[in-house]
């Protein structure tokens, strides 16, 4: 198709061979035809109109630079021509004429050909076209900037937004070698954009060399490696210090130029940590002289305080105003939650809903702050100040080191001294053991509420955990025998509430939604296989023949029956419950139950039922700040689906996580799901970031083993059908 490279002058027409035209040889003619004589051709194959934004770009370009490509027409008469190719250009010219920018008889360069070629010409123009590569756009814009043209002028001439021009020009921060990989199709535009976090081309190339051999190159992997020595401004440490204080102290920021939220990373970790410690030390001055000891830490492990005893503040009447506000907020939260899971809420109601939980936590903290500690308690206890996962100061009061816990009084001790005066009150210290009841009604429920874990969700987690424990207990006679013998002794030796010897009553617990909870789970398959192999033919006989037949069974059959009956008696609990049975935890530990290999949190069974803040905080802690910020911008349903993928066994394939991250997400479990004392590795998974240990088996591999002919995670006698 013939093209003109400059605006044509109104001169005599000339006959020419149409370069690239579909017209027959000798039949093509370039003419300048008045705009008013041109009209859309019914033979034009384009029926679906272009987008308004595309038309606006073309209009702006023609207004600034004129027609750069001729139209293709066929004659309807001596003064009327139908446009077979170039309909959008004709539309733009008509609009310019209507706006008075060009005259109605403006000369338009047209290739005139025979009507018989109209459809072929129209199809050829619309099919044989390709969008300009972003790298080519960048170079074109960059050359125009070198010619001292402004971003606004470039946008006007190309008919694109100024923002697009600026985004393309930002690619100048990327090393030329990486741009060439982009041209070759080895990198996506999103990956190239990720490299703009830094201007250091050497650093960019080092990261590129590290990721280029991967099966799938993910933008988040590039960002993580570019910022591996930096802290996100949205991290708990970054939020605690604040960008203003960090920059005022001379800190350098790495900014994500393509992030609308203007995400930044603090590149001087030593400075950031020093500022955080100074801020913690300033806050600690409030407690100086009133407690036995003070400590400040940038972060602490979840179980860091379990080795300490606790003293608690004295009970006083709650503030009536705060109490009334709390009751009002709880009622309002329930009303909003009942609105079809948020689908029927307005934007204002949605904001109100997500503001309730933080305020309830504030009220709870305010009520606690009002409770005073006794002088004798403060004399043996201390305070730890650290940074919470939300970037807010966290103060842990009343911690008693093991060496400071007073010895239990001897029986002969009296409450008076030698002179008959009353002895000083002995501090009441809760010892460092998880089985000791806390001096509140249900602290576990209070902690769960902060994450949006409702009572019904906690019940489902208990039922799931108990179902998994059942499957393992039913497969192990020795543990089942010991557990049942212990229960028998509790009954027979008068240690239970019902002092009836050998009156054992097994009432199998049934979860209300067990079909949904258990479904095609590993534990359910184990139980079905075990039940199928039980020797139960003796039960079809009349008494006492059934007892004689059972007594004659081989020992292995008896053991299987005993273990099965025992597993049905197990009660559901989470290890984080207020007063969990240590025996159930010991049973799970002895069986070495791998809950993570049997259950993963999904949108249905977990992420769709917890607060957005809990999901985002968990993502931030286990995956990273960038991933968490992406989730924070999503709706609840999208967050739940993304978290399900990120915490599934296939996270390395579906999400592009690195090995260390996969080791964390595929083994993570909600607080209380791990059986206390199972293994050191599993213990690190209790609601916190696990450490990737050498030789650790990913959950995906563990499940694969569970479905093999001889599963290492299943009992030795369990047949292959059980998997």
Are 56 and 117 members of one domain? yes
Contact indicator for 127, 117 with CB cutoff of 8 Å? no
User: Residues 25-81: pLDDT tens digits?
Assistant: 445 677 889 999 999 887 765 654 556 656 776 777 677 667 777 888 888 888 899
In a domain, 626, yes or no: no
Q: DSSP assignment, residue 686? A: B
Q: What is the 3-state secondary structure (H, E, C) of 373-389?
A: CCHHHHCCCEEEEEECC
Show the beta-strand stretches assigned E in 26-172.
Answer: 29-34, 38-40, 71-75, 81-85, 107-112
Tell whether 441 and 329 lie within a shared domain. Answer: yes
Q: Looking at the structure, do residues 318 and 444 belong to the same domain, yes or no?
A: yes
Query: Domain containing 105 — which CATH number?
Result: 3.90.1530.10
How many other CB atoms are there within 10 angstroms of residue 475's CB atom? 24
Same domain, 232 and 327: no
Tell whether 645 is covered by a domain: no
Position 56 in a domain: yes
Same domain? For 329 and 427 the reply is yes
For residue 165, what is the domain's CATH number?
1.10.10
Last residue of a domain, one of 127, 147, 167: 127
Q: Please tell me whether residues 306 and 367 are part of one structural domain.
A: yes
For 166, the enclosing helix (H) or strand (E) is: helix 162-169
Residue 389: inside a domain, yes or no?
yes
- Residue 620 has what pLDDT? 93
Q: Which of 473, 455, 398, 472 is nearest to 432 (CA)?
A: 398
Query: Does 69 share its domain with 84?
Result: yes
In a domain, residue 709? The reply is: no
pTM over 0.85? The answer is no
Looking at 104, 127, 150, the residue that finishes a domain is 127
The pLDDT of residue 688 is 46
Instruction: Give residue 552's pLDDT.
Output: 85
**Over the stretch 487-515, which tens digit does the pLDDT of each residue have?**
655 554 444 443 332 335 666 666 666 77
| C-beta atoms surrounding 689 within 10 Å | 15
Residue 344 lies in a domain: yes
Residues 365 and 437 in one domain: yes
Which of 93, 127, 161 marks a domain boundary?
127
From residue 479, alpha-carbon distances to 471, 484, 563, 566 in Å are 12, 9, 8, 9
Measured CA to CA, the distance from residue 277 to residue 519 in angstroms comes to: 50
Total structural domains within the chain: 3
Contact criterion met (CB below 8 Å) for 229 and 269: yes
The reply to whether 212 falls in a domain is yes
What element of type H or E holds 15? strand 14-15
Residues 150 and 119 in one domain: no
Q: Please give the Cα distance from 44 to 122 (Å, whole number).
A: 6
Give pLDDT < 70 ranges for the chain.
Answer: 1-28, 44-54, 57, 61, 64-65, 119-134, 136-138, 156-161, 163, 214-215, 227-230, 255-263, 301-304, 340-344, 408-426, 433-452, 485-513, 516, 547, 578, 677-723
In a domain, 21, yes or no: yes
- Residue 236 and residue 110 in one domain: no
One domain for residues 122 and 155: no
Q: Are residues 138 and 86 in the same domain?
A: no
Domain that holds residue 83: 14-127
Q: How far apart are CA 128 and CA 19, in angstroms?
A: 15
């Amino acid at each position: 198709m013939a093209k003109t490279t400059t605006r044509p002058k109104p001169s005599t027409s000339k006959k020419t061979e149409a370069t690239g035209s579909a017209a027959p040889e000798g039949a093509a003619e370039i003419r300048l035809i008045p705009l008013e004589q041109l009209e859309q051709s019914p033979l034009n194959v384009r029926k679906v109109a272009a987008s308004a934004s595309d038309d606006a770009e073309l209009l702006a370009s023609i207004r600034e630079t004129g027609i750069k490509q001729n139209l293709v027409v066929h004659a309807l008469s001596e003064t009327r021509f139908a446009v077979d190719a170039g309909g959008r250009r004709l539309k733009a010219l008509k609009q310019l004429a209507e706006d008075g920018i060009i005259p109605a008889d403006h000369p338009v360069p047209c290739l005139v050909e025979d009507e018989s070629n109209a459809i072929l010409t129209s199809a050829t123009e619309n099919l044989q076209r390709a969008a300009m590569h972003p790298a080519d756009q960048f170079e074109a814009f960059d050359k125009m900037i070198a010619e001292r043209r402004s971003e606004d002028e470039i946008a006007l001439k190309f008919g694109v937004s100024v923002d697009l021009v600026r985004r393309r020009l930002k690619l100048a921060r990327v090393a030329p070698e990486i741009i060439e990989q982009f041209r070759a199709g080895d990198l996506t535009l999103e990956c190239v954009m990720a490299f703009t976090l830094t201007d250091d081309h050497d650093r960019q190339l080092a990261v590129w060399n590290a990721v280029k051999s991967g099966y799938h190159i993910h933008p988040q992997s590039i960002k993580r490696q570019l910022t591996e020595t930096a802290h996100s401004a949205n991290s708990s440490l970054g939020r605690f210090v604040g960008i203003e204080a960090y920059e005022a102290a001379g800190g350098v920021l790495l900014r994500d130029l393509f992030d609308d939220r203007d995400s930044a990373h603090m590149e001087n970790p030593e400075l950031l940590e020093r500022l955080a410690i100074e801020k913690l030390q300033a806050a600690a001055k409030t407690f100086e002289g009133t407690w036995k000891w003070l400590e400040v830490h940038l972060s602490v492990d979840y179980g860091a305080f379990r080795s300490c005893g606790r003293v608690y503040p004295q009970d006083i009447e709650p503030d009536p105003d705060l109490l009334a506000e709390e009751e009002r907020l709880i009622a309002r939260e329930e009303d909003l939650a009942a609105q079809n899971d948020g689908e029927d809420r307005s934007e204002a109601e949605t904001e109100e809903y997500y503001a309730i939980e933080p305020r309830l936590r504030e009220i709870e903290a305010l009520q606690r702050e009002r409770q005073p500690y006794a002088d004798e308690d403060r004399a043996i206890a201390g305070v730890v100040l650290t940074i919470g996962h939300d970037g807010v100061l966290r103060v842990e009061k009343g911690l008693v080191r093991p060496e400071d816990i007073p010895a239990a009084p001897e029986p002969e001790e009296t409450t008076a001294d030698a002179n008959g005066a009353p002895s000083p009150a002995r501090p009441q210290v809760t010892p460092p053991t998880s089985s000791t009841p806390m001096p509140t009604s249900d602290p576990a429920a209070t902690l769960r509420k902060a994450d949006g874990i409702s009572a019904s969700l906690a019940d489902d987690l208990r039922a799931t955990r108990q179902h998994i424990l059942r499957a393992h207990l039913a497969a192990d006679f020795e543990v089942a025998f010991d557990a049942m013998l212990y229960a028998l002794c509790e009954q027979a030796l008068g240690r239970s509430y019902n002092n009836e010897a050998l009156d054992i009553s097994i009432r199998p617990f049934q979860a209300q939604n067990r079909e949904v909870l258990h479904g095609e789970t590993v534990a359910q398959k184990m139980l079905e296989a075990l039940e199928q192999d039980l020797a139960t033919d003796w039960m079809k006989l009349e008494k006492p023949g059934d007892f004689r037949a059972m007594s004659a069974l081989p020992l292995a059959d008896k053991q299987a029956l005993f273990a099965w009956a025992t597993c049905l008696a197990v009660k559901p609990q989470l290890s984080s419950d207020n007063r969990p049975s240590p025996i159930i935890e010991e049973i799970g530990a002895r069986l070495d139950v791998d809950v993570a290999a049997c259950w993963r949190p999904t949108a249905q069974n977990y992420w769709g039922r917890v607060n957005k803040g809990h999901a985002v905080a968990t993502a931030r802690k286990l995956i990273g700040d960038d991933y968490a910020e992406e989730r924070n911008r999503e709706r609840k349903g999208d967050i739940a689906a993304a978290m399900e993928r990120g915490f599934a066994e296939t996270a390395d394939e579906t999400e592009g996580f690195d090995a260390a991250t996969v080791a964390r997400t595929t083994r993570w479990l909600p607080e209380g799901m791990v059986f206390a004392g199972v293994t050191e590795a599993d213990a690190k998974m209790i609601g916190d970031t696990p450490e990737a240990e050498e030789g650790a088996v990913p959950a995906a591999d563990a499940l694969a083993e569970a479905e093999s002919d001889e599963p290492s995670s299943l009992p030795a006698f369990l047949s292959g059908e059980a998997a």
